[in-house]
Amino acid sequence: MSKRNEKIKIKNIFPALYPKLVDDIEGKILSPLSCITELESKWILEFDLPLVNKDGISVALDTGNVISIEAKLREAYCDENLESKCEFHYFKKRVTLPGGIDDKKITSNFLNGRLTINVPKVFRGSKIKVE
């Protein structure tokens, strides 16, 4: 099979996989790289947000322990390949955490293109004296 035929075959199956492999092209929204770490006392959520200013970031806690972040890019990010050009204007991501978080003590920090959100856990229980 020639390389040309292989390329056509891949191109024909790609649209079926397309929504699962890329960001939201129609909404012009990127999904940021992220890392979620669970420690004994808290969750740490980290998001890479290059090309973003601090005042362009929105963080919210929605019902069901869902942390939503949205960040406007300083300038449009263009992704070009041989057949198309896509332009993106926002980062957006939603992360669902399990129950038992202390929503009154959530903090966030943005430094050098990285957003860090600390979500403390609530401990329900009592201390047991050891005799």
Q: Tens digits of per-residue pLDDT, 88-128?
A: 889 999 999 888 899 899 999 999 999 999 999 997 777 78
96 located within any domain:
yes
64 located within any domain:
yes
Question: Going edge to edge, which strands form the sheet with 52-62?
Answer: 29-30, 85-96, 66-80, 52-62
**Which residue range forms the structural domain that includes residue 108?**
26-120
69 located within any domain:
yes
Q: Tens digits of per-residue pLDDT, 3-35?
A: 444 443 334 344 444 443 345 666 778 889 999
Rounded distance between C-alpha atoms, residue 47 and residue 115, angstroms: 5
Question: What is the secondary structure of 39-73 as a DSSP string?
Answer: -SSEEEEEEE-TTEEEEEEEEEEETTTEEEEEEEE
pTM (2 d.p.): 0.72
66 located within any domain:
yes
Which is more confidently placed, 1 or 23? 23
Domain count, the chain: 1
Which CATH number do you get for residue 87?
2.60.40.790
pLDDT computed for residue 55 by the predictor = 95
Rounded distance between C-alpha atoms, residue 65 and residue 19, angstroms: 26
